[in-house]
Structure 1
Amino acid sequence: MNFNDLIGTIGVGIILLAYFLNIFSLIKKDGILFYSMNIIGASIACFASILINYMPFIILEATWAIVSIVGLLKAIKKPQAST
């Protein structure tokens, strides 16, 4: 496995871990951890795609990171429910 593959695998692994944790209700789908994992994973995967110059995945992962950033900002701004 070369460097590009290693970086891409780490990025995609983080995204898949976030998805797994969400599906099994171990983290909230609108929580800060979920969005943060998606931002980090997508950014790393985007970097790997840049290294191999593969435009379809550069666009996909950059979009994924941007959408996750927007979601994170909305989650941070959302008023917390008082208990």
Structure 2
Amino acid sequence: MSLQWFDFVGFAGTFVILAAYFGLQVRKLDGHGALYSILNLLGAAGILVSVVYAEKMNWPVFSIEFAWIVISLYGIGFSLKRRFAKPTV
């Protein structure tokens, strides 16, 4: 088995998602915070790169990583909206 550059990008993406999840479990990251969603977005994008450049397309992995990116973007938007919302009196 020979690894290509995109395999290493995929491994890095996997590591980032696992690190974010670990940070959530040990309460170092807030699951509603932008950082958690950004890490998930970057991780999913890394895995998606490895899927797209692979010799054979893995459609189930592609679809879940695409969904992960969409959900992460929503989480980032929600977090930023909450952060910059005007306080109600």
TM-score (norm 1): 0.88
Deviation at 1:80, TM superposition (A): 7.7
Partner of 1:59: 63
Q: Which runs of 5+ in 1 are unaligned?
A: none
CA distance in 1, matches of 2:47, 2:34: 20
The alignment status of 1:73 with 2:74, answered yes or no, reads no
Aligned identity (percent) is: 23
Task: Tell me which of 40, 43, 49 is aligned to 1:41.
Answer: 43
TM-score between both structures, scaled by the size of structure 2 = 0.83
Match of 1:29 among 28, 31, 34: 31
Q: How many residues are paired up? A: 81
Structure 2 distance, partners of 1:5, 1:44, is: 9
What does 1:1-20 correspond to in 2, within 5 Å?
1-20=3-22
**What CA RMSD, in Å, does the superposition of the two structures yield over aligned residues?**
1.5
Distance 1:31 1:2, change over 3 A: same
